[in-house]
Structure 1
């Protein structure tokens, strides 16, 4: 909590009040003040330093006029501030460099203007008719009593502007009506403010299968519930990353083991899952998702970063290499019925994702793709003949070649003896594959000849008809639109996690379609 406070006596402006205003909802822009364009109500201005302007610092301190024990002069510290409301121009200027407005009990000490007198109370007017009545009544009483001294009658037949009973009742009724209207307006404003924080999209609202498929990419509500049930034990205790400054100093001690380290969250585990899936499926901006789920943009960004890393680590088990028996039992007919292709276990290809142009020149050179003529990130994917992702590499810059990416990605380490790897003509990795006692199957090239033979054309057609499965798998991977369009530069560090999560979800959808 901020300890900065305006040091003028009687002024309560400080960092706490300023943070409270920033977290309030702006009625004009329908979002919190922290992310809207409204001007802050005040600013906390620091004292001039001793080295820069000692005279101004001394004058500021004198005008504050505070005292401490022993009637000693007060000196400002590092947290001492004077808010902008005490300056004529809202800040120190050449014309008004010192605070003069509302300086508390020190106001009379440094101002030359004398204190104004209170205005006299309004006198009640008496008309001439009332005066004549009073005079006549006094004369009659004087004559009857025979005394020259005036006597006062108990009957008040004059009018000094005092409202009648009917006027009082009408005024009371009018004030009651105004009070009722103000209460109604206050209740309406409170209801509208509550509706601003109402979530437009949530886990509970996705009850229709069509809505689930549109927002998350999963086929139905049952698949969404199954995925949440698998992730729920750890998803409900996930902790958001808040920067290195949020790491506690020293050794943390707990009286009891907490269910979740850190403060309570505004988003439940179910809504975290839905928000992350919507980010991948729709490619929405963080501000849009924050408005949909009724949180701030910063909370949405931290939640997506933490949940993506968590889902990537938990769902990575879905990207695995099946056993030999499982792969043989699930071979499609076009592979199983032909001896040349029945040993194919991997169909590999490289795919690229457009990213925003980085400002760093070295990163810009590493991500430039001569094939796409754009800044891209490239990764190597491998599928089984039935379309199951069994390997996804890390994302590299688009400048790297397919051969080099295959060598450094770790794909060659998962090959077994006698397996066949099917690839495009742009993968000259036969020697690397042979070192792991496997075989490479690529279409024949026409290097050294002007035209391919009839047999080479037939072989190329057969291999292309089977290698097209990896193209379909990549197209299915890019149905998650965050990987289809240009990835913002802020999300580039999370590309590895996004590709892993998308590939695992594709495997999940593939299994749901089968069974």
Structure 2
């Protein structure tokens, strides 16, 4: 047998082995530092980019910008509408033309669809202008206009398909104890007005001028179920139209039945139009003062009817309706107002905490 001694590696020594270990450890530390810096860059980019994810950790900001109670509530709503976004949404591509062309929602857009919804909700909730939204999201003002028109029409169609009007059995099953004196109440009705720009045409001025507001307005009727959910929204009418005429033209008469009852304000003189019972505060009818029964009836109805005014206030928490609606926005104002009403049922909790189980 011939024994061959192994070759000696003159390049490796105990000192150089320690050095290699140190370099490996330094390399691992540098890789961790690079990862940390990458995360920091992503965080800073997110801070500079205006989008929904930027506010996911702040429910107060989500409430301010979208009127949804929290980021979790917003995500629940998004999951409801997301399947229809890619299949049913029609994107407006030319809002200036009288015959606007439309196409199915493209696969790539300036913003992700969820951020487009965020932009639309900001337009309603904060009342931001097109210029301001364009600067925030880094897109052109015309793109902002098209996004708003697209989502207004989409949500108007999608949410409007959901049944608002509840069957009589469902309403009575959820009747709060406060309505024990009026157990057959199906809906509580009230009208509300929003300011609009005065048109130059004198005939139109006379039609939209409201003597109650002393301004040009648009008027709608909103109805809520006794447990607080919005169950009826009419179209917007000229501000000069009376509550009785809006009640007649809104279409609510066709869904009322004789064994139902509606609750209205004193000015709703619809007894001859409604095919059901009408709960309304009684008039003094020339008497010097009301009798005790009428006083008690007035107090009971007023205490319950106030909830429809609270619900309307939720709609008008959207700052878009605070100012005067320009005539340029009147082309989609019906859609915007109805969508704002529909969203109230998704954005908020019950009007009264005790009604959470209703």
In structure 2, what is the Cα distance between the partners aligned to 1:319 and 1:202? 32
Partner of residue 170, structure 1: none
Partner of residue 329, structure 2: 491
Change (3 A) 1:288 1:217: same
SS in 2 for 1:205: helix
Partner of residue 471, structure 1: 309
Partner of residue 363, structure 1: 204
In structure 2, what is the Cα distance between the partners aligned to 1:234 and 1:465? 41
Greater CA deviation, 300-309 or 234-243? 234-243
SS in 2 for 1:431: coil
Partner of residue 395, structure 1: 236
SS in 2 for 1:301: helix
Partner of residue 273, structure 1: 117
Partner of residue 25, structure 2: none
Q: Which runs of 5+ in 2 are unaligned?
A: 1-43
SS in 2 for 1:471: helix
In structure 1, what is the Cα distance between the partners aligned to 2:307 and 2:241? 24
Match of 2:294 among 456, 481, 504: 456
Greater percentage in helix: 2
SS in 1 for 2:293: helix
**What's the CA shift string for 1:71-119, capped at 9, x where partnerless?**
xxxxxxxxxxxxxxxxxxxxxxxxxxxxxxxxxxxxxxxxxxxxxxxxx
How far apart are residue 387 of structure 1 and its match? 1.0
Partner of residue 353, structure 1: 194
In structure 2, what is the Cα distance between the partners aligned to 1:214 and 1:510? 13
Change (3 A) 1:319 1:400: farther
Say whether the 8 Å CA contact 1:319–1:503 is kept in structure 2. Answer: no
Match of 2:174 among 330, 333, 337: 330
Match of 1:298 among 142, 156, 164: 142
In structure 1, what is the Cα distance between the partners aligned to 2:322 and 2:228? 20
SS in 1 for 2:223: strand
Partner of residue 127, structure 2: 283
How far apart are residue 362 of structure 1 and its match? 2.4
Alignment of 1:102-113 (within 5 A): none
How far apart are residue 459 of structure 1 and its match? 1.4
Partner of residue 161, structure 1: none
SS in 2 for 1:275: helix
Aligned residues: 304
SS in 2 for 1:493: coil
Partner of residue 190, structure 1: none
Q: Which runs of 5+ in 1 are unaligned?
A: 1-194, 249-257
Partner of residue 251, structure 2: 410
Please give the TM-score of this superposition, normalised by the length of structure 2: 0.79
In structure 1, what is the Cα distance between the partners aligned to 2:314 and 2:322? 10
Alignment of 1:409-448 (within 5 A): 409-433=250-274, 436=275, 438-448=276-286
Partner of residue 318, structure 2: 480
Give the CA RMSD over aligned residues.
Answer: 2.4
Partner of residue 222, structure 1: 72
**What's the CA shift string for 1:343-398, capped at 9, x where partnerless?**
11111111000112222322222110000001110001111111111100000110
How far apart are residue 247 of structure 1 and its match? 4.3
How far apart are residue 233 of structure 1 and its match? 2.6
How far apart are residue 481 of structure 1 and its match? 1.4
In structure 1, what is the Cα distance between the partners aligned to 2:107 and 2:99? 16
Say whether the 8 Å CA contact 1:388–1:510 is kept in structure 2. Answer: no
Say whether the 8 Å CA contact 1:369–1:375 is kept in structure 2. Answer: yes
SS in 2 for 1:204: helix
Change (3 A) 1:247 1:462: closer
In structure 1, what is the Cα distance between the partners aligned to 2:98 and 2:115? 26
Please give the TM-score of this superposition, normalised by the length of structure 1: 0.56
